[in-house]
Chains A and B, each alone.
Chain A
Amino acid sequence: MSLFKIQNLTYYYPDRERPALKNINLHVEEGELLLIVGGSGSGKSTLARVLAGLIPDFYGGKIGGRVFFEGRELSEDGRRALSTQAGIVFQDPEKQLVMTAVEAEIAFGLENLGLPQQEMFRRVAEVMSFLNLSPLKNEFTANLSGGQKQKVALASVLVMQPRVLILDEPTSQLDPAAADEFFYLIERLNKEMGYTVVLIEQRLERCFHLADRLVVMERGEILREGPVGEVARWEVENALPFLPPVARFFAFLHAPFIPLTVKEGRRELKKFLPVSPARPPDAGRRASENNNPGPFPLLTMPKGQVKQERAVVEIKNVWFTYPNGREALKGINCRVEKGEFVVIMGENAAGKTTLLKQIVGLLKPGRGSVVVMEKDTRTVSLAELARDVGYLAQNPDDHLFQDTVEKELLFTLNNLSLADDGVIDAVLDKLSIVQHRDANPRDLSSGERQRVALAAVLVARPQLLVLDEPTRGIDYRLKKELGAFLKELAEEGLTVMVVTHDVEFAAEYAGRVIMMFDGMLVCDGPKDRVLGTSMFYAPQMARLFKDFAGGVLTVKEGLAKIRSNGDAKKCLSVNADC
Chain B
Amino acid sequence: MERLSYEEKGVFLQTLHTGVVLVYLGVLCVLALLFSHPLYLTGIFILGALAVIVSEAVEKWEMYLRMGIWMALLIMIINPLVFRTGKTVLWHGPTVPVLGKLDICLEAICYGAAMGIRLLAVLTVFCLYNAVVHPDKILSLFARYAYKSALVVSLATRMLPAVARDLANAREVQQLRGVDYGSGSLRERVRKHSWLLNIVLSSSLERALQVAEAMQARAFGTGPRSCYRRELRRPRDLLCFTAGILALLFSLLAKFKGYGDYTYYPQMGKLVESSSSVIWLGIILISLSLPVVLSWGWKHCPYLRSKI
Contacts and interface: CB of A to CB of B under 8 A. Distances in A.
Interface of A: 52-54, 57-58, 78-80, 83-84, 87-88, 90, 92, 94-101, 103-104, 107-117, 120, 124, 138-143, 156-157, 160, 357, 360-362, 381-383, 385-387, 389-391, 393, 395, 397-401, 411-412, 415-416, 442, 456-457, 460
B177 A415 contact: yes
A394 B140 CA distance: 36
22 contacts: A54-B217, A79-B222, A83-B218, A87-B218, A95-B207, A99-B139, A104-B136, A104-B139, A110-B226, A111-B227, A113-B222, A114-B225, A117-B229, A138-B8, A142-B158, A160-B219, A381-B180, A385-B176, A389-B176, A393-B169, A398-B199, A460-B177
Contact of B203 (A54, A138, A393, A397): A397
Given A94-B162, A382-B175, A386-B175, A124 B202 contact: no
B178 A415 contact: yes
Interface of B is mostly: helix
B158 A138 contact: no
B210 A92 contact: yes
Nearest to A399: B173
B278 to A, nearest CB: 42
The residue in B8, B219, B230 that gathers the most chain A C-beta atoms within 10 A of its C-beta is B219
A142 B202 contact: no
Interface in B223-246: 223-230
Given A100-B158, A142-B161, A398-B169, A117 B226 contact: yes
A80 B226 contact: no
A354 to B, nearest CB: 13
Contact of A100 (B136, B175, B178, B215): B136
B228 A114 contact: no
Contacts of A108: 218, 220
A151 B172 CA distance: 30
A80 B217 CA distance: 9
A395 B169 contact: yes
A90 B214 contact: yes
B210 A111 contact: no
Across the A-B interface, the 8 shortest Cβ-Cβ residue pairs: A415-B178, A96-B214, A109-B218, A107-B228, A83-B219, A95-B210, A101-B136, A112-B219
B135 A116 contact: no
A381 B135 CA distance: 43
Nearest to A94: B162
Contact of B199 (A54, A79, A109, A401): A401
A442 B179 CA distance: 21
Given A114-B223, A382-B176, A386-B175, A95 B4 contact: no
Given A52-B217, A401-B195, A386 B226 contact: no
A442 B218 CA distance: 27
Contacts of B134: 101, 138
A257 B109 CA distance: 92
B73 interface: no
A47 B179 CA distance: 41
Nearest to A97: B158
Contacts of B222: 78-80, 83, 112-113
A54 B172 contact: no
A397 B223 contact: no
B216 interface: yes
Given A96-B211, A110-B226, A416-B178, 12 more contacts: A90-B213, A94-B207, A97-B158, A98-B211, A98-B214, A103-B230, A104-B228, A115-B226, A362-B175, A362-B176, A399-B174, A460-B178
B52 to A, nearest CB: 20
A100 B154 contact: yes
B156 to A, nearest CB: 10
Contacts of A415: 177-179
B273 interface: no
A456 B210 CA distance: 27
Contacts of A160: 218-219
B166 interface: yes
B252 interface: no
B66 interface: no
A137 to B, nearest CB: 9
B198 interface: yes
Contacts of A141: 158
B1 to A, nearest CB: 9
A140 B4 contact: yes
Contacts of B203: 397-398
Contacts of A383: 175, 178-180
A398 B219 contact: no
Contacts, number: 183
Contact of A80 (B135, B210, B223, B228): B223
Give the bracket for the number of chain B residues in contact with chain A.
35 or more
A455 B306 CA distance: 66
Contacts of B202: 397, 400-401, 442
A384 to B, nearest CB: 9
Nearest to B171: A398
Given A111-B228, A116-B226, A395-B169, A79 B216 contact: yes
A390 B175 CA distance: 11
B155 interface: yes
A391 B178 CA distance: 11
Nearest to A385: B176
B94 interface: no
B234 to A, nearest CB: 17
Interface in B146-166: 151, 154-155, 157-158, 161-162, 166
A456 B195 CA distance: 15
Contacts of B172: 357, 362, 393, 398
B170 interface: yes
A107 B157 CA distance: 18
Contacts of B217: 52-54, 83, 87-88, 157
B3 interface: yes
B229 A139 contact: no
Contacts of B161: 142
Nearest to B160: A142
B258 interface: no
The residue in A53, A95, A139, A385 that gathers the most chain B C-beta atoms within 10 A of its C-beta is A95
Nearest to B175: A382
B196 to A, nearest CB: 8
Given A111-B225, A114-B223, A143-B3, A99 B136 contact: yes
A357 to B, nearest CB: 8
B180 A100 contact: no
B175 A120 contact: no
B59 interface: no
B169 A114 contact: no
Nearest to B214: A96
Contacts of A400: 199, 202
A386 B221 CA distance: 49
A142 B160 CA distance: 10
A80 B225 CA distance: 11
B134 to A, nearest CB: 6
B77 to A, nearest CB: 33
Contact of B177 (A362, A411, A442): A411
Contacts of A101: 134-136
Nearest to A113: B219
Nearest to B217: A88
A14 to B, nearest CB: 13
Nearest to A104: B136
B210 to A, nearest CB: 4
Contacts of A442: 202
A117 B228 contact: yes
Contacts of B195: 401
A415 to B, nearest CB: 3
A421 B213 CA distance: 45
Contacts of B178: 383, 386-387, 412, 415-416, 460
